[in-house]
Amino acid sequence: MRDYNKIAEMLPVFCVSSKAYLKMNGWLAKDDPIPGFPAIGVTEIPALYQHALHIARSVREAALRKFYTVVEQYLAGLLMQVVVSDQPTKWADDMASQELQFVNNLVDELSKAFESAIKGKFGGFRQMIQQKIYCPLDDAAAVAANQAIATVDS
């Protein structure tokens, strides 16, 4: 039987105002002030952002637990093969090379997966830096250039 109260706690409702959030961050400078939002936190965008981060963190944790379990099972199976073998140090050369090749393939796959994950994260960082730093700097430079003439004249 499902516990609907527990499910309700896991699925919060956010009544957000993106327009008020954008206005308070200065992105909608030409628009009129939006009544009813004295602070950015009231728009619930920061709370929604934190909730999304929490969900992403939970998904990553579950994926890492699954990966850890698979690696642990593989190592346990490998250990059992060595322990059960009558002569663990006298494996046939072809069997040892097959095992070595299998392990090397797994390490290569893991390296590629980690490299892909890292590139994906840095790609996101580049995009965020572009949006949060470089784009506002271009706008600020344009405003400063326009105001510089008036400042020099005065």
Q: Give 25's contacts (C-beta < 8 A, 6+ positions apart).
A: 40
Give CA–CA dist 88/12, Å, rounded.
56
* Domain end (from 36, 55, 89): 89
Q: How far apart are CA 132 and CA 127, in angstroms?
A: 9
10 and 73 within one domain: yes
Per-residue pLDDT of the chain (154 residues; tens, 9 = 90+): 677 787 777 777 777 888 888 888 888 878 887 888 788 888 888 888 888 888 888 888 888 889 988 988 888 888 777 767 655 556 566 677 788 788 888 888 888 887 787 777 676 677 777 777 777 777 777 778 888 877 777 7
The domain total for the chain is 2
Contact criterion met (CB below 8 Å) for 51 and 12: yes
pTM (whole model) above 0.85: no
Give the burial class of 116: count Cβ atoms within 10 A of its Cβ; 0-12 exposed, 13-18 middle, 19 or more buried: exposed
Q: In this structure, what DSSP letter does residue 34 have? A: P
Specify the pLDDT at position 140: 76
User: Are 37 and 53 in the same domain?
Assistant: yes
Q: Decide: 29 and 42 in contact? Cβ < 8 Å.
A: no
Phi, psi of 23 (to 5 degrees): -65, -45
Q: Are residues 25 and 101 in the same domain?
A: no
Question: Are 40 and 107 found together in one domain?
Answer: no
Q: What is the pLDDT of residue 94?
A: 66
Do 40 and 95 lie in a common domain?
Answer: no
Within this chain, do residues 82 and 96 fall inside the same structural domain, yes or no?
A: no
Domain boundary among 89, 107, 128: 89
Domain limits for position 28: 1-89
